[in-house]
Structures are given as C-alpha cells and as structure tokens.
Amino acid sequence: MSKSKREPSYFEAPAETIVIQEIDPLPQLEQVVRDYAYKNTSIVMRIDYQATTVLLNRHGMAGCLHRLCTDLGFQNPKLGQQLVDRFPKDGLAWLVRALTIYVHNAEKLAELGVDHAAVLRRLLKMVERGVLTQPGAAENGFENEIILCGGWMQASLCATPLNVEPAVLKRLNGLYFPGGLPGKRQLIGTLDPGLLRSGMQTALTRVLDEQLKPWTPPPGEKLERVDFTEMAKIADFLQGFVCTVLTPFPLAYADGPLYQAPYSGCLASSEEVTVDHDTLLGWMSNRGTRVGRDDVYGSPMKAANFHPGRPADQEVLDQIYADLLGEPEFAGKVARLINHTPQHASADGMTYLLPCYPNPAERPREIWRWRMTRTLIHEFMHRITHPDVVGAAGKVDQPQILKEGFVEVFTALVLRRLSDRAANDPELCTLILGPGTPFTPPPAAYLKAGYGQDGVDAQTITNEIGLGQVAIGYFLGDVKRLAITEPQ
C-alpha cells in the first residue's frame, strides 16, 4: 500500500512568502492635531498622534510602547513587549493613546508636579480593569477619562489657589479644638466626672433604646429581609450619580477606590460584622461623641466641662465607656445594635447594610427606602474619603467633624439632587422606593447634614470656604482646604 500524500496545512505557507507582521492589526490613530479643554477647568491638553503613528508603523506596538514609556522616564528595555504579551488589543490601543497624550503634555504636567511613574502605574491599572472608554465616546468620555485616571485633574485641582483669608482659616480651625487651640488659653473649666458619667449613661442608654426599638418585630411575625440584589442595583446607580453630581472631584482621586471594585461588589449584611471588644468600644466612642455634644441629649459633655484635648478628661470618658460595657445587659444591647447599624469598614473596604426592614409600625416602608438610599450614599462617601483626611482627624480634638461631618455635607447634597430627579423620573422612583410606590419625598431632616454638632461645624466650614475648595480637601487630601492649619 503506497503512502498517502500529505495534505497542505491552511496555517503553512512557502518560506519565501512569509511576512513578519503584528498578529493583531495596529490601531488607526487620528491624524488631526487638536487641543481639548476640560469643561470648567484650566486644563487644556494637546492631542497629537502623528509621531506615535510613525512609531507604530516602524516598530510595531511593542516598540512604540517602549519608546513612549522611555519618554516618561522608564528604562526597562523589555517593558513594551511585556505589555503586548499581557494586554488585549483594545487595551493596548487605549494605552498607546493615553501614553501619547501624557508624553506630549509632559511640560505642563511637570509644572503641576505630576509624577510620571505614578501616571504609568495608574494607566496600566486602568487597562488591567478592562473597563475603558474608547475614543469617540459621547461627551468626550475618552479624553475626560485620560485626564482623570492619570492624575492630571488631581494635580490641577490641588494647584488651585485657596483664596481664603488666614484669619478665617484660623477661626474655622478652632472648630476642631472646642476647648481652645493647643498652646493657647483653654476655654473649658474643670471636668465634673460625676456629671459626665450620669449624663453620658443617660444619653447612651436612650440612644440604645431608641435605635433598637424598630428592630423588634410585631408579635408572631418576622421582619422583612432586605433584597441585597436590589441594593446592589441602587449602589451601582448611586456610584455614577455621586460622581456626576460632585464632578470632577471624586474621580480626580486617581489612586482611589473608584478605580477598583464597583460599589455593588462591596456590600454585605451588618449581621456579618464580628462584635468583639474593639467593636464595642468603637460604637461607644462614635455614638458618645455624637450625643455628647447634642442638645437633644442634653449635651452631657458640655454640661460636665469635658475637654476633648485633655488626656485626663479622655481617661475619665474611657473608663465610663468601659464601666457601661461591663454591664451585661448594656453590652448586649450594644452588640445587638452593632449588627443593626450600617457601617463602612476601612480595613476591607466593605459596606455593611441593614439586613432587614424595621417594624412597619415604627417606620413606614417608603420612608425607610429613602433611609436605606441615604445610608448607601453616606457609606459611599466614607469609601471615597481621602486617607489623608482620616489621618488629619487623628491630630484634632474633635475628629468627628472630619470623619462624619463632611460625609454628611456631601450626603445631604447628593440626596437633594436625587430627590429632585426621582420626582420626575418614574424609573428612578421605582428603583429607590420599590415597584408600585408613588413618589414620596424624603423627610426634610434627610436633606440636611446630620450627625449633630459635627455636621453643623462641617457645614459652617463649607459655607465659608466654598464647596469646591472643601471637595478638593475631602476627596483629594489637601486638608488645608478643610481649615486644618499648621501648626496644630
């Protein structure tokens, strides 16, 4: 039997006809040189892909990327090929355009102090995410994304002059030190430990009873469980809505969580929060500071001459908390309430939401839906707070202004805009309030900065310095714009 003839492979070709070329076709770059101005800012970026097109045609994608990265200060000769091996063609096309823009505008960026190494790291992070706005997108989406995610917007905003009189900053800085600025005459007299103990015990007991009451179901019934799939849809909508309402500040934090996992992927039930000694103390400190300065609860800290900057006063307060938690019934109530309290966990980035609806006799469902939405906004603000703001809170006597007060300022602003839109948008109304529920406005109290005196102080600072300046401080970490002055 003769040997059969070998059939030719469709993937082979005579040696003389093989041409070395890119596996994927190279992107077609625009050849019109133009300037793009980001709306309502001083940013004007030159867009010129002509030289990059020459590089692509001569050296392919790997060689072109190598040259662009070299122009940004990187000397790794294998980087271009490593990027080609690592990313899909649409990501590479996005990256070569983004790098071109930053290379061509390097002089402007240098004047703003932009770190080129950070730019490349951020752009690569965007390609890794795989959620990219391609050229030609509506409303200059691609150009805006490049400016934001690379750090250009952040540097530009932080270069904006503050234009606030030093005397105003000094006066507002005093809000963080209600007992008097460090090294200056102190304004609070001697602490009355007994009065502080009785006042804080009364206030915290009242808070526990008030906030636990809605979580007792009607006789013979169970509380309705929250649908977290539904909450995830609201969370994803709110992430985009917050960024739109507060543009460009949240997205300008180029290293922030908005360029990581989506908000909807970071939700869990507060039932999952582990209640240990530190968690109990954290609740006591948070709520204690909240009610201790609130006239609704008798302002027990003010009444007892509590000075937050005096270590001895803080030791007395810590002992009061420890003694209260030493009472099994009190500690049990705190533990139960923690599992029925929304919170943002900075350690893992998770947002813990309430697991069920309250007793309908205590809270109408439509009002609670607004409460849940407000909570999602509030906790999202914690998620996108710049870490330098949290760090600054550790250097003042009244840290809750920074930790909670400004969160409330932005939460109230976003909820006001959301309410206005939902009133005229049936689809959004259904998302927020649930199917079949006619539009019902949120309570007036939800539309104002809460958290007692801390919210009042944060709103005062915002009113005097300006929302834009405060947003730069809060979202981008330039804390002097929050009236944090040196020396402290």
Distance set, CA 22 to CA 26, 61, 76 (Å) = 7, 8, 21
What pLDDT sits at residue 9? 30
Residue 3 has pLDDT above 50, yes or no: no
What pLDDT sits at residue 23? 54
Give residue-wise pLDDT tens across range 142-197: 999 999 999 999 999 999 999 999 999 999 999 999 998 888 888 899 999 999 99
Alpha helices in 88-192 (DSSP H): 89-104, 106-111, 116-129, 141-149, 152-158, 166-173
Residue 18 has pLDDT above 50, yes or no: no
Give residue-wise pLDDT tens across range 178-188: 998 888 888 89
Q: What is the DSSP letter of 225?
A: B
Radius of gyration of the chain (CA): 28
Model pTM score: 0.89
Rounded Cα distance, 263 and 231, in Å? 10
Going by C-alpha positions, the residue among 337, 328, 325, 330 that lies closest to residue 216 is: 337
Residue 339 has pLDDT above 90, yes or no: yes
**What confidence category does residue 77 fall into, taking pLDDT thresholds of 50, 70 and 90?**
confident
> CA triplet 281, 283, 286: central angle to 5 degrees?
105
* Residue pair 381/407 in contact by the 8 Å Cβ criterion: yes
Give residue-wise pLDDT tens across range 457-480: 999 999 999 999 999 999 999 999
Give the residue extent of every domain in the chain.
19-158, 167-482
Alpha-carbon dihedral sign for residues 315, 317, 319, 322: negative
Amino acid at 303: A
Residue 404 has pLDDT above 70, yes or no: yes
DSSP string, 364-410: -HHHHHHHHHHHHHHHHHHHHS-HHHHHHHTTSS-THIIIIIHHHHH
